[in-house]
Amino acid sequence: MADLNALAEQLSGLTVLEAAQLVKVLEEKWGVSAAAPVAMAALPVAGGAAAAAAAPVEEKTEFTVVLKSVGDKKIDVIKVIRQLTNLGLKEAKDMAETANAKVLESVSKEAAEDAKKKLTEVGATVDLT
């Protein structure tokens, strides 16, 4: 059996180009296909490429509250829409009757979750995007 520590040490010394070539060789030898980002993240390489691949994804800061369906309590949903948006009665009613209406756009996570909670409490179906 191969010395795994020595093998790991050799792989650590590969450049990014050499690691990419190794992936191609192993794909051909074993008859498999590896996604390049997964293979590169799995192999420690010099130059910070592994650190860049493992960088955290930026968290979304702005949300849109989308009304999917009104449910059985249309009047209550219209009241909540008016409360959240300061729209008039006709505009809020039109929004409630529109499929996939955007109740709020570009709001914070807290505001979006609060709006979703209020709308779902009165029977509406809501998505946050």
Q: Is residue 32 part of a domain?
A: yes
Considering the domain architecture, whether residues 71 and 117 belong to the same structural domain is answered as yes
Cβ burial of 72 (10 Å; 0-12, 13-18, 19+) is exposed
Q: Which domain holds residue 25?
A: 4-53
And the tokens for 32? 């498999």
Residues 81 and 113 in one domain: yes
Sign of CA dihedral 96, 101, 107, 110: positive
In a domain, 58, yes or no: no
Give yes or no: residues 75 and 109 share one domain: yes
Q: Count Cα atoms within 13 angstroms, Cβ side, for 69.
A: 4
pTM of the model: 0.54
Helices (H), 56-108: 74-85, 89-96
- pLDDT on residue 39: 47
Q: Name residues whose C-beta falls within 8 Å of residue 36's C-beta, 6 or more positions apart in sequence.
A: 20, 23
Closest CA to 113 of 101, 100, 129, 98: 129
The per-residue pLDDT for 61 is 81
Backbone angles phi, psi at 81, to 5 degrees: -60, -45
Q: Say if residue 40 is in the same domain as residue 79.
A: no
Contact indicator for 108, 59 with CB cutoff of 8 Å: no
Residue 128: which H helix or E strand, with range? strand 125-128
pLDDT along the chain (129 residues), means of 10: 78 79 79 58 51 62 89 91 90 90 89 91 91
Q: Helix, strand or coil for residue 97?
A: coil
Residues 48 and 8 placed together within one structural domain of the fold: yes
The answer to whether residue 43 is domain-embedded is: yes
